[in-house]
């Protein structure tokens, strides 16, 4: 009968408004939760078929929960370099454990980017979810697959070991004195015999003393410091623009060579009439015009090589000698610039806008670790919510695609930033009042229907 349907409609109103209150309570409680997406309960009427003309049966109301997952929260600056926000569409891929991930382990998706480094070196957010990314391959690339989550691993930024960068290039800025006096020993100098400058460096009682020495400090493949000298002796030439030159290791035992102890190269360095170096006719590196470089094979390799006892890799050092001049001024070294760095340890973590996670070392080296993938869905509002401010895939959400940050519609990563919740407190408090009034009104329906039924029962008395 109609009175019963009215009572049931009141009950449905209580249930629907209870759901609305629960959603509002969740929103208010999570107003400060990073990247929280507000929920809302919308109401839809339920219509009961009217079988008797002129009579009406109430159907009531039902609550329909709607998620606003696709709504972008405000991006706010953070003081941590591992705090991340997504500016645009997409989600971070996360897992519930770090090491030993298998295909059967569940992955979820979140925009809560409050990541920090845990004791084992993994990037973990406040909900204890581990950030996933494509690990850097040995060739420096990333195996990016748009649909295979198994290519991604929990990103670890500590178990990388120390970083070493051997020297590969050196720039020398120096001047050789064009007015220098030719040494008496120049007349007997021979770079391939005991009269060499390399011999003098090994034992000052032998060999030929150079007029000028430039010291180069190289870093080897193990991060060790190796000294290599470039020695010059002014030659007795008609133009006065020729110098004898040698390159040798100090101590000589660092290098195994077939010629003089520690000697890597020997020849002549030529200068033009304007004082600039003439590399075209310089023979220090072999034939005239040869590439200026130091080439040493690995320990155990072919001579010239690093000594076997050192156990280090082959090394080629390019020498930029364009700034070596010959002017009538005191021989001097103006500057020496070179790359390479000894053993360094991780001091910071950096994430770029395109998702590259890099480790920063105290020797100024930067090592790429992984690339963060961004998961996108055709209908993110259709995802199902799970604990930890995360989501799981559903049919309603559509097919997932993993993209590189900023590519194909995926959002860019904002490092040192966090996404705020999308909760508007003023709107929630207004909804709270409306829900309270609607709940009271629904309860009044039940009270009124009960009174009418009581009147009906009293007719019989």
Note if the pTM is more than 0.85.
no
pLDDT bucket at 420, cuts 50 / 70 / 90 = very high
pLDDT at 331 over 90: yes
| pLDDT of res. 364 | 75
Q: Provide the token pair at 423.
A: 């909760």
Cis peptide, bond prior to residue 117, ω within 30 of zero: no
Cis omega before residue 141 (within 30°)? Answer: no
- pLDDT bin (cut points 50, 70, 90) of residue 51 is low
**Strands 91-95 vs 107-110: parallel, antiparallel or unpaired:** antiparallel
Q: What is the mean pLDDT of residues 354-361?
A: 89
Residue carrying the six token digits 């957010």: 125
What kind of architecture, by CATH, is found in domain 164-343?
Sandwich (2.60)
Least confident range from 44-58, 119-133, 304-318, 417-431: namely 44-58
Query: Looking at the DSSP assignment, which residues form a beta bridge with residue 327?
Result: 177
Tell me what percent of the residues of the chain surpass a pLDDT of 90: 63
Amino acid 356: pLDDT: 93
What is the reported pLDDT for 461? 64
Which helix (H) or strand (E) segment holds residue 176: the answer is strand 169-177
Give the lowest-confidence range in 45-54, 173-182, 260-269, 414-423: 45-54
What pLDDT was estimated at residue 378? 95
Q: Tell me: the pLDDT tens digits for 188-213? A: 899 888 889 999 998 898 899 999 99
Calculate mean pLDDT across residues 236-255. 93
Residue 309 has pLDDT above 70, yes or no: yes
Mean pLDDT: which of 43-47, 95-99, 316-320 is highest?
A: 316-320
Segment 18-28 shows an average pLDDT of 92
The DSSP bridge partners found for residue 452 are: none
Give the chain's mean pLDDT: 90
Q: Is residue 233 left, alpha or beta, with left meaning phi > 0 and alpha meaning psi from -120 to 50?
A: beta
Domain locations in the chain as residue ranges: 2-68+422-458, 76-159+372-419, 164-343
């Amino acid at each position: 009968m109609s009175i019963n349907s009215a009572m049931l409609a009141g009950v449905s109103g209580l249930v629907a408004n209870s759901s609305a209150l629960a959603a509002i309570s969740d929103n208010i409680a999570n107003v400060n939760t990073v990247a929280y997406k507000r929920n809302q309960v919308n109401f839809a009427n339920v219509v009961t078929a009217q079988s008797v003309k002129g009579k009406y049966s109430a159907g009531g109301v039902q609550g329909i929960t709607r998620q606003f997952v696709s709504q972008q929260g405000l991006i706010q600056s953070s003081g941590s370099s591992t705090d991340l926000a997504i500016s645009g569409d997409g989600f971070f891929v996360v897992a519930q454990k770090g090491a030993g991930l298998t295909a059967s382990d569940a992955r979820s998706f979140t925009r809560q980017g409050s990541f920090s480094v845990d004791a084992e070196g993994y990037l973990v957010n406040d909900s204890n979810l581990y950030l996933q990314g494509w690990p850097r391959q040995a060739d420096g690339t990333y195996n990016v697959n748009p649909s295979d989550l198994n290519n991604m691993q929990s990103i670890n930024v500590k178990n990388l070991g120390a970083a070493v960068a051997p020297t590969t290039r050196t720039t020398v800025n120096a001047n050789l004195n064009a007015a220098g006096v030719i040494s008496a020993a120049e007349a007997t100098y021979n770079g391939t015999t005991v009269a060499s400058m390399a011999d003098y460096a090994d034992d000052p009682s032998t060999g030929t003393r150079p007029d000028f020495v430039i010291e180069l400090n190289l870093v080897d493949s193990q991060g060790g410091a190796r000294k290599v000298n470039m020695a010059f002796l002014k030659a007795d030439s008609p133009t006065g623009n020729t110098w004898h030159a040698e390159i040798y290791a100090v101590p000589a035992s660092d290098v195994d060579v077939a010629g003089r102890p520690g000697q890597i190269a020997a020849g002549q360095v030529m200068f033009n009439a304007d004082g600039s170096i003439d590399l075209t006719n310089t023979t220090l590196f072999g034939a005239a015009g040869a590439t200026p470089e130091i080439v040493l094979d690995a320990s155990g390799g072919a001579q010239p090589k690093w000594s076997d006892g050192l156990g280090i890799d082959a090394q080629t050092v390019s020498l930029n000698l364009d700034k070596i001049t010959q002017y009538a001024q005191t021989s001097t070294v103006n500057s020496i610039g070179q790359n390479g760095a000894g053993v360094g340890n991780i001091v910071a973590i950096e994430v770029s806008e395109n998702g590259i996670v890099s480790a920063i070392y105290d020797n100024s080296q930067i090592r790429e670790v992984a690339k963060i993938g961004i998961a996108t869905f055709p209908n993110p509002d259709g995802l199902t919510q799970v604990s930890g401010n995360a989501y799981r895939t559903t049919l309603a959400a559509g097919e997932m695609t993993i993209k590189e940050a900023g590519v194909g519609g995926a959002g860019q990563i904002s490092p040192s930033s966090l996404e705020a919740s999308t909760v508007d407190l003023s709107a929630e408090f207004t909804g709270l009042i409306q829900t309270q009034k609607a709940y009271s009104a629904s309860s009044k329906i039940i009270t009124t229907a009960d009174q009418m039924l009581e009147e009906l029962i009293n007719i019989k008395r």
